[in-house]
Copies of this chain bind each other. A is one copy, B any other.
Amino acid sequence: MGDIVEVFLAFSTYATIVVLKMMLMSPMTGYFRITRKAFANQEDTSLASSTEDKKKLVRVDPDVERVRRCHQNDLENIIPFVVIGLLYTLTGPDLSTALLHFRVFVGSRLFHTVAYVLPLPQPSRAVAFLIGLVTTSSMASRVLITALYL
C-alpha cells in the first residue's frame, strides 16, 4: 500500500492527459466545420462567411462527421477509463502494474485518434479500440475482485 500515493499521482497525470486529448476534438470539429463550411446551426454560418448563401452552409460534411465519430468514441471509452481507473487506483495495485495499464490505455487512444482521423487502413483502429477496452476491463476485474459488495 506504500505505492498508493504514487499510483494516484500517475492516475491523475494520465487521466488529465487523455481527457485533454478528448477535449481537443471540439476545436478540431470547429476547425473542420469552418474550413469545410459545414455547420449544424443556422446562426453559426456567420462565423464562416458573410457573403455566401447561408442556408447552404447548414449541411453534413464527411470530414466533420469523421471527427465527430472519433469524439463520440472517446466519450464512450475514455470516461469509463477515468471512472474505473480511479476505483482501481484506490484498490492499491502495484505501481508498475498500474503504470502499465495507464500507459497502454493512453497510448492506444492516442493511436486510435490518428487511425480514425487520417484514416489508417483497418484493422489499425479496431485494434487500438480493443486494446483500450481490454485495459479498462482488466482494471474493472481487479476492482470487482477487491471491493465486491453487492
Contact = CB atoms under 8 A, between A and B. Distances in A.
Interface of A: 6, 9-10, 12-13, 15-17, 19-20, 22-23, 25-27, 40-41, 43-44, 46-47, 66, 69, 71, 75-77, 79-80, 82-84, 87, 90, 119-123, 125-126, 129, 133, 136-137, 140, 143-144, 147-150
A41 B23 CA distance: 22
Secondary structure dominating the interface of A: helix
A149 to B, nearest CB: 4
Contacts of A83: 15, 19, 79, 82
B19 A84 contact: yes
A76 B76 contact: no
A26 B147 contact: no
Given A16-B143, A75-B75, A87-B15, A23 B80 contact: yes
Nearest to A79: B79
A132 to B, nearest CB: 10
A85 to B, nearest CB: 10
Closest 8 CB pairs of A and B: A9-B149, A12-B147, A10-B149, A9-B147, A12-B87, A16-B143, A19-B80, A43-B122
A126 B9 CA distance: 34
Contact of A76 (B20, B75, B84, B136): B75
Nearest to A22: B80
A136 B23 CA distance: 10
